[in-house]
Structure 1
Amino acid sequence: MRKSSGAGVAAVSAGRKLTINIDGAARGNPGPAAWAYVIRHDGEIVLEECGKLGNTTNNVAEYTALVRALERAAELQADTLDIKSDSELLVKQMNGEYKVRNANLLPLYEEANRLRRQFKQVDLTHVYRTENKDADRLCNEALDGRAVDAGPRPRKAEIGSEKEPPPANTHTRSAGGGGWAEAKDLIRKLIEENSAGDANAVAERIVNTLQQRGFKLP
């Protein structure tokens, strides 16, 4: 599942600070697993995503959430990230306090470190589950098969911002009047054409254009 706010995505495209909550879960450990992240800009949720992994461990799911979140933040052209996780192991390994001894985690750990070097600053902080409830909820909804209709209410258009089709186990909401693949191409084109314009004006034009093309927006 992917949900995003069109205005929010446009606003962070110039290199801003993002706050990201990540989570991974496995029922059985190892067992059916899922990952999730929630991205905020200026306190507002601008994008959230979750997906299934099949049978694996909780720690693999946690690292997968981190890697997916870093990839998305790079696409949004953010330069500073404040990442929060309820996995003390992940946070201490990424901060150099613990060594990675598990062979299954090492490739994900190395990929996460490669991705974090793209940013000006990345802070990883351990939080309790109660402070990570949105990402935790998404993980459980993915595991329960409820992710398609889950999550917070949309702020603007429910759009995706990725450049490639979603992975097979990632849930993406559908749209009327054409489908989100068409919507994403249209939105990307409008943002590129108006990259120097005011973010609110660009967002309004995107919403108006989608409505004119027959997409049903909130």
Structure 2
Amino acid sequence: LTLWAEPGMNNPDDPESPHGTAYGADAEALAAARERDTRSQSQRNHDALEAMLDHLLANGALGDSVALPSHLVVTASLEDLENRAGVAVTATGTRLPVTDLVDIAADATPWLEVFEGQSSQILHFGRGRRLASLAQRLALFGRDRGCTAPGCTTPWSRTQAHHMPDWQDGGPTDIDHLGGACGGHNRSVSTTPGGWETTVLTSGPFKGRVGWRPSGSTEPWKV
């Protein structure tokens, strides 16, 4: 922060403010920006941290991800979007006012997800691959929003694509055989007593959702 939060640096309200670190910045430009800078130290620290994160994301410093990439991924209902009201949910579990989401989306490239019908994204791989694709992960996030185990509050960013049946038991990597599960609940699925069994429900009020119940039982499926 000593170099990124120096007066005049990384000021979002000053288009001529130098960006990045003060080390190596144009001396004259920095001096002029310093004269215009009325921010407090706390505000400069905030702006510097945001500039650091922008730099990190822009240069791919987080590396590749097997889950969701470093993008803002949000789900909301069409009704709330049309009414500019309500609450949307991000992949990390953050609740976001729809009014803010609309403002953000104006400068973003959105993914449009349709739950009934087909798209050009390949959502069925059979046994051709084990790991879910980005398109599958996004589709599952829109439906599940987090771990599907009853009562679990793990957000989507910390879940895995769980196969139904399990991959080791011949389960395909198809969108209608996948569901979100945190690591603990994913490993708890088993055909032996004491474990859980899962399925995508095909009827009833929770059709399309992932159901859970103790392995070998006849209890009603829980969502």
- TM normalised by structure 1 equals 0.25
The answer to which structure has the higher strand fraction is: 1
Give the TM-score of the pair, scaled to structure 2: 0.25
- Greater helix proportion: 1
